[in-house]
Amino acid sequence: MKAITMHETVLRYKAIDGTIFSSEEECRKYENTCKCILNAKYKDYIIVSDIEYNIFNIGSEVCILDIVKVPNQQAVDNILQMAILINTTKEAEFFDKLRERIVKCMNNNDYLIIAKGENNTCFWVENHSFKEYINHLNNLINSFETP
């Protein structure tokens, strides 16, 4: 008897946003959806994407954090459209406030911290921009060190 190693080739199809499908038909259908198009545009703005625990060494191991740069008004619109697509149960007021936060980060040349649940089930922008969040953490650390 002789042991042999066999490798099988499995054909998969990759959509323009990186999502993998087992059939060409499923992939083509998905690529024609607005979610795929928005995902592809959104990925251009991501500077870092990882689980919360890996970024801050605390927090969730299932929550994905994206550190996102907002270079222009088109990016504001794309990020907001992505949020609307994912957060179907939110009211218009939520998205108005979200737009204000995204525009503020764009105007301040800052980064957004966007948190997504498992399978992109939720999508929100943290109350702080990245710079504000770092300042908040520094203040918190200083409060522990001050007697």
CA angle 41, 45, 51 (to 5 degrees): 110
For residue 126, the model assigns a pLDDT of 55
- Residues of the chain predicted below pLDDT 50: 127
pLDDT of residue 147: 59
pTM confidence score: 0.65
Give the pLDDT of residue 112: 84
pLDDT at 125: 59
Whose structure tokens read 């954090």? Answer: 65
Write down the pLDDT at residue 76.
93
Task: HSE, CB side, 13 Å, CA atoms: give it for residue 7.
Answer: 2
3 phi and psi angles, rounded to 5 deg: -80, 135
Give me the DSSP letters along 41-84: HHHTTEEEEEEHHHHHSSS-SS-EEEEEE--SHHHHHHHHHHHH
